[in-house]
Amino acid sequence: MTIKAVPGTRDILPEEIPAWRRIEEAAHRLFARYGYRELRTPVFEETELFARGIGGETDIVAKEMYTFEDRDGSSLTLRPEATAGIVRSVIENHLFQSDPALKVYALGPMFRRERPQKGRYRQFHQVDVEAFGLQSPQVDAEVVELAVGFLEACGIAEYEVVLNSVGDPACRPPYVETLRQALRANLTRLGPDSQRRTETNPLRVLDSKVPEEQELIAALPRILEHLCPACREHFEEVRRQLDLLGIRYRVDHRLVRGLDYYMRTTFEVTSGALGAQNSLLGGGRYDGLVKELGGPDLGGIGFAAGMERIVLAMPAREAERRCDVFLMPLAAAAFDEALRLQRGLRQAGARVLLDPEGRSFKSRMKLADKLGARYVAIRGEEEMKKGVWRVRDRAGSTQDDVAEGRVAQHLEEKLHG
């Protein structure tokens, strides 16, 4: 029996790596322009961090965490998302003391025991952006701007930004109560999950995809009509700035985060190219979280983007060229020279390969084509006699005889010139 990858995990094969690198490079390049610095936290943490930082009522904590007992009996969990670990690190390392407007980002694998399907995995990767200590609506608008700029830098042109405000500790609790009353009055029209959530977390009923519940949900009281003046003003200013910057979005009152510390702005970016799992990234403001995890009363806002989904939504690109120069020392006496030439060209930055197995001319040529070689340099008995390398340009189908002492320079000029 051969051993296979665990269901819900996948290998990122060499052919896919250029797309992943493009995402990573876009993140490093773009986030720096907005003042973000990279932070790397461990992939496992104490289970308690996620229980407190994400909330026991969420699907993530209730049924999706990879939790295990360590040898000393402590309970550890593979991180299902990045924010909790980042907040722990910010508090533990007092990062906000040296940097009151703290902006950090992180990239890496996350683990959730979800039902695997296209675009949904048990080990997946996120790009995560978090800004702390900044309350202004300018930061909310900037984080949305950064999110769409990032997708565009990855080559994604088709997407939709969905925006909402979920209020704050002044206006949300009364709204939640109003919502609960409206749901209680219609309990018989709800399925078992929504019935339970009516008591535990009525906001999550708004997430429901159950077809029979949609009509009722459309008629429920809406958070945007229950915002307090401060939240209303904040939301209007976020929208005004997005309009000013030319960033298009759709307001959807059903986009909520069911956790207590989420407040005001929430947003999501979806792609029509993705099918059922259409969310590219999601984010929002979480001003209560740092305090909840034992830190100072510091606001926070950020987003998490799924890298697998970005790869799926990215335009296909031509395969990467693996070889600039393919060396063919056909004459046995040319082999040592080829080794030296190979080393010199590689030191000069070229991608150089040769076939050390010494196969036939035809099979070497096939290999050169397969590798996408731009130039093939051949030295057989005839070239030995003439003191040259025969350099073939695969694209132009031309060839030159180049004196042996000049071949390295000749190839470098061709490649860089």
Smallest separation (angstroms) from ligand AMP to the CB of 140:
17
* Residue nearest ligand AMP (C-beta atom): 306
| Closest-CA residue to 239 (of 304, 301, 150, 161) | 161
Smallest separation (angstroms) from ligand AMP to the CB of 65:
12
List the interface residues with ligand AMP, window 70-99 (CB under 6 A).
81
Could you tell me if 330 and 378 are in contact, meaning their C-beta atoms sit under 8 angstroms apart? yes
Spell out where 117-252 has E strands: 123-132, 160-165, 250-251
Both tokens of residue 139? 């930061």
267 binding ligand AMP? (CB under 6 A):
no
Both tokens of residue 284? 């929002």
Smallest separation (angstroms) from ligand AMP to the CB of 397:
45
Both tokens of residue 302? 């950020």
Smallest separation (angstroms) from ligand AMP to the CB of 256:
12
Rounded-to-integer distance, Cα 153 and Cα 256, Å: 27
Smallest separation (angstroms) from ligand AMP to the CB of 121:
4
User: Which of 79, 103, 112, 172 touches ligand AMP by CB under 6 A?
Assistant: 112
User: Which of 124, 150, 159, 261 touches ligand AMP by CB under 6 A?
Assistant: 124
39 binding ligand AMP? (CB under 6 A):
no
Choose between 83 and 165: whose C-beta lies nearer to ligand AMP: 83
CA dist 403 to 257, 300, 391, Å?
70, 65, 10
Rounded-to-integer distance, Cα 260 and Cα 286, Å: 9
Smallest separation (angstroms) from ligand AMP to the CB of 198:
23
Choose between 133 and 306: whose C-beta lies nearer to ligand AMP: 306
User: Which of 281, 301, 377, 402 touches ligand AMP by CB under 6 A?
Assistant: 281
Smallest separation (angstroms) from ligand AMP to the CB of 326:
39
| Closest-CA residue to 209 (of 133, 277, 159, 263) | 277
278 binding ligand AMP? (CB under 6 A):
no
284 binding ligand AMP? (CB under 6 A):
no
- SS3 call for 332: helix
Rounded-to-integer distance, Cα 195 and Cα 214, Å: 14
List the interface residues with ligand AMP, window 215-254 (CB under 6 A).
none
Rounded-to-integer distance, Cα 252 and Cα 210, Å: 18
Residues near ligand AMP (CB under 6 A): 81, 112, 114, 119-121, 124, 126, 279-282, 304-306, 308-309
